[in-house]
Amino acid sequence: MKEKIIIFDTTLRDGEQSLKSSLTVQEKIKIAFSLEQMGIDVIEVGFPISSPGDFKSTEVIAANIKNSTICSLARCVEKDIEAAALAMSKSSNFRIHLFLGTSSLHIKSKLKRSFSEIIDLAVFSIKKAKKYTDNIEFSCEDAGRTEIDNLCKIVELAIKAGANTINIPDTVGYTIPNEFSKIITSLYNRVPNIESAIISVHCHNDLGMAVGNSISAIQSGARQIEGTINGLGERAGNTALEEIIMAIKIRSDILNVFTNINCEEIYKTSKIVSNICKVPIPFNKSIVGSNVYSHSSGVHQDGVLKNRNNYEIISPETVGMKPVQLNLTSRSGRAAVKHRMEKLGYLEKEYDLNKLYANFLILADKKGRIFDHDLEALVFMDIKKIKYTYFQLDSFDVTSGSDGVSVASVTLFCGKEKKTSITKTRNGIIAAVYKTINRIVGYPIFLKKCSLISNGINNDSIFKLDIIVRYCNRDFFGTGSSFDFLNSVIKAMIYVLNDIFRFKEMSFRKEEIKKEK
């Protein structure tokens, strides 16, 4: 019979600690609601004694979350315990999470106490917290580096004092999976009252093993996993809960456990956390990255077209993502090109696949990624006549004053003709550049989406801008990279305008062919 794994989320506590600025109450409650809808069992919402803001946000969330257990962190200090209990008093279902260093390093250099004093403090604090709730979690901070004899002893006494969840954290991400597994196994073998508590683990990712350690702990008997959405957290971050949840789901044959998580809410929650915390999701991030369900290699694309299981162990719909179509690049094979043409409504007899594919490779080497309108252009136009760079930048000048007015002057080559325009706006420098270029070109376009990624530090930063423009009921993608922010903006705009120009030429040629027929 499969056993349940309790999912404990600490995005609003440990995750927030890694951010450059604290989240507002409104931001925290939005994340909390998303976590609740996702089916998270326990939400650790803060450390109430740490600040008035943390106390307030804990209080508000405790009053509004009904389906998940609310949890607050507290040191083994009376004032901490009282603050945690008071902040969560409006909740009918809350947990107090106590923590105390148990490794010799922490005891001697941080706490400056003896191990016997640590035991007394832990027992006293657990009994104090029990006055407010029966739901008590005790964390042996730095358990991964705690002598096993000491760890077994304090766990036994913590359970005896009333803790019904015992957390074994790998606080600094020091252990490796088989080592961490042995720690959990030793606790089950040596602690006589271990069955009276849930064993939990909270693994950090300093050596990149947080998820691996957590999985090994499950296999050794742990029944609660602590982590964060997108792996946010101190230093290298925490166990990424979306990875744990999907590992449990996909490898249930080996792990023989389950969660109560609504997996279709994973991607939405991930995006909400990313947007509010202003921490972009890496494109190759497991489970929720934009590239995870994409395929560029011709061999992979052919395999996916025949059976998605050939190269996908998770479907994007499972985590709430939309199906991702194959990326057409110079690495794509004939099968992917043929498949895309079929999706566009073209029969194989209506075009020469060999000729189309040969021209496709030429354009893909120049352009990078090929879109639907590019394929159609290759069908209806001679590759030699396709104008790849009709629009080219000559010069630009952009200023932004303290009065909020941005002025952009841009000069473009439109074919062989040079055109200049100037725009003033209070909507920012991107809007100024966008409107100026649009005036020159004269296309009825709408800037649908604009996202900026900066890689590097100070003068070494590379700005990458991705935009989506709507034109004639179609989306056109543009991208631009530069050490200069404005240059990347203009490059992205010119990229997408050249795409639209080719689309217009293709549409014109398509109509001519229809008339000829």
| Nearest Cα residue to 226 out of 252, 201, 247, 204 | 201
| Nearest Cα residue to 287 out of 307, 263, 305 | 263
| Nearest Cα residue to 47 out of 20, 87, 7, 1 | 87
pLDDT computed for residue 288 by the predictor: 93
Task: Name which CATH class applies to 391-516.
Answer: alpha beta
pLDDT computed for residue 435 by the predictor: 87
Average pLDDT score, the chain: 89
| pLDDT, average across residues 451-463 | 66
pLDDT computed for residue 400 by the predictor: 84
pTM of the model: 0.80
Give yes or no for a contact between 150 and 182, defined as CB atoms under 8 angstroms apart. no
Give yes or no for a contact between 409 and 422, defined as CB atoms under 8 angstroms apart. yes
Per residue in 249-283, pLDDT (tens digit) is: 999 999 999 999 999 999 999 999 999 999 989 88
Whole-number Cα distances in Å, 116 to 103, 104, 138, 326, 328: 12, 12, 17, 62, 65
Q: Does residue 207 have a pLDDT over 60?
A: yes
Give yes or no for a contact between 179 and 170, defined as CB atoms under 8 angstroms apart. no
Give yes or no for a contact between 34 and 64, defined as CB atoms under 8 angstroms apart. no
The rounded distance, in Å, linking the Cα atoms of 115 and 108 is 9
The rounded distance, in Å, linking the Cα atoms of 19 and 362 is 45
Query: In this structure, are strands 94-101 and 136-141 parallel, antiparallel, or unpaired?
Result: parallel
Can you read off the two tokens belonging to residue 281? 């999701």
Residues forming a β-bridge with 122: none
Task: Answer with the residue of higher pLDDT: 327 or 456.
Answer: 327
Q: DSSP for 408-432?
A: EEEEEEETTEEEEEEEEESS-HHHH
The rounded distance, in Å, linking the Cα atoms of 167 and 165 is 6
Task: Name which CATH class applies to 3-277.
Answer: alpha beta
Location of structure tokens 């109450």: 25
Can you read off the two tokens belonging to residue 447? 């800037």
Per residue in 479-495, pLDDT (tens digit) is: 888 888 788 888 888 88
Give yes or no for a contact between 461 and 439, defined as CB atoms under 8 angstroms apart. no
pLDDT computed for residue 303 by the predictor: 65
Q: Rounded to 10 degrees, what is the CA torsion of 354, 360, 362, 363?
A: 160
* Dihedral sign, Cα of residue 324, residue 328, residue 331, residue 336: positive
Q: Does residue 456 have a pLDDT over 60?
A: no
Q: Does residue 517 have a pLDDT over 60?
A: no
Q: Does residue 384 have a pLDDT over 70?
A: no
Task: Find the angle CA(15)-CA(20)-CA(25) to the nearest 5 degrees.
Answer: 65
Q: Does residue 458 have a pLDDT over 60?
A: no
Can you read off the two tokens belonging to residue 247? 């590992």
The share of the chain scoring above pLDDT 90, in percent, equals 55
The rounded distance, in Å, linking the Cα atoms of 307 and 484 is 44
3-state helix, strand, coil in the chain (%, to 5): 50, 20, 30
pLDDT band at 138 (very low <50, low <70, confident <90, very high): very high
Can you read off the two tokens belonging to residue 46? 């803060």
Element (H, E) at 269: helix 266-277
Give yes or no for a contact between 126 and 157, defined as CB atoms under 8 angstroms apart. no
246: left (phi over 0), alpha (psi -120 to 50) or beta: alpha
pLDDT computed for residue 473 by the predictor: 84
Q: Please give the radius of gyration of the chain, using alpha carbons only, rounded to the nearest integer.
A: 29
Break the chain into its structural domains and give their ranges: 3-277, 298-385, 391-516
Q: Cα 158 to the chain's mean position, in Å? A: 36
Query: In this structure, are strands 406-414 and 391-400 parallel, antiparallel, or unpaired?
Result: antiparallel
Say which range, 208-212, 238-242, 309-313, has the weakest mean pLDDT. Answer: 309-313
pLDDT computed for residue 90 by the predictor: 95
The rounded distance, in Å, linking the Cα atoms of 282 and 286 is 9
Task: Answer with the residue of higher pLDDT: 229 or 362.
Answer: 229
The rounded distance, in Å, linking the Cα atoms of 60 and 91 is 10
